[in-house]
Amino acid sequence: MNQISNTIPEVSFEFFPPHSEKAEATLWKSVDRLKDLRPQFVSVTYGADGSTRERTHSAVARASSRPPHRSPIRSGDAGP
Whether 51 and 45 have beta carbons less than 8 Å apart is answered as: no
Of 16, 10, 71, nearest in space to 43 by CA: 16
Angle of helix 21-34 relative to helix 53-65, nearest 10 degrees, comes to 30
Give tens-digit pLDDT for 17-44: 888 889 889 988 998 898 888 888 888 8
Active-site choice (14, 21, 24, 54) = 14
Concerning whether 14 is annotated as a catalytic residue, the answer is yes
pTM of the entire structure?
0.61
pLDDT digits over 55-78, tens only? Answer: 888 887 887 776 554 444 444 444
